[in-house]
Amino acid sequence: MPTQTRDAVDTAPAELLTDEVKSQLQEAIKTVSEKQLREFVAELARKEPAAERELVKMLLVPRSKRKRADEVQSRWMACANCRVEYDVGEDRKAGECQYHPGELEPDYEAFVDDDYDETTIESEELMQEFPENYNWTCCGEDGTVEGCIAGKHVHGGESKKRKR
């Protein structure tokens, strides 16, 4: 089978979008960088009104109960406590957010057989690699235990970078 040029794929009629091509597209979406994917989505929204309408439905919600079309906000936000991304358009539920209000501190005795200095032991990398060797200041549990406080998600956080 001859290889198609980019132009041939660009102008391909819908019936040429075979299951194989669709499968390859899904794989490409999984492997493309976030930055590049964001650029593609923004361009698609600018060029295709139908795509723009779908993206508005997926990414925006009314800012208030009055649901004025011109008062919208991002649908997806990070919780200020647990930093998990959540849908602000859904009703909040008790217990959906679990977090530790304290900090992780190293259990230095857990590292006694290792050759790490204090700076390395307190690094984010080691906390992620060996959470069982750290304890929460709020409850004393080790870093593998889910949050000791449960509540509803709260606006205003940054995306989760590590498990809290």
Residues 6 and 57 in one domain: yes
| Triad 95, 96, 98: Cα angle to 5° | 75
> In which residue ranges of the chain is pLDDT below 50?
1-5, 161-164
Number of domains making up the chain? 2
pLDDT tens for 32-53 read 999 999 999 999 999 999 999 9
Specify whether the CB–CB gap between 147 and 164 falls below 8 A.
yes
Report if residue 28 sits inside a domain. Answer: yes
What pLDDT score was predicted for residue 63?
Answer: 84
pLDDT tens for 11-29 read 566 677 889 999 999 999 9
Final residue of a domain: which of 35, 61, 87? Answer: 61
What pLDDT score was predicted for residue 7?
Answer: 52
Domain encompassing residue 36? 1-61
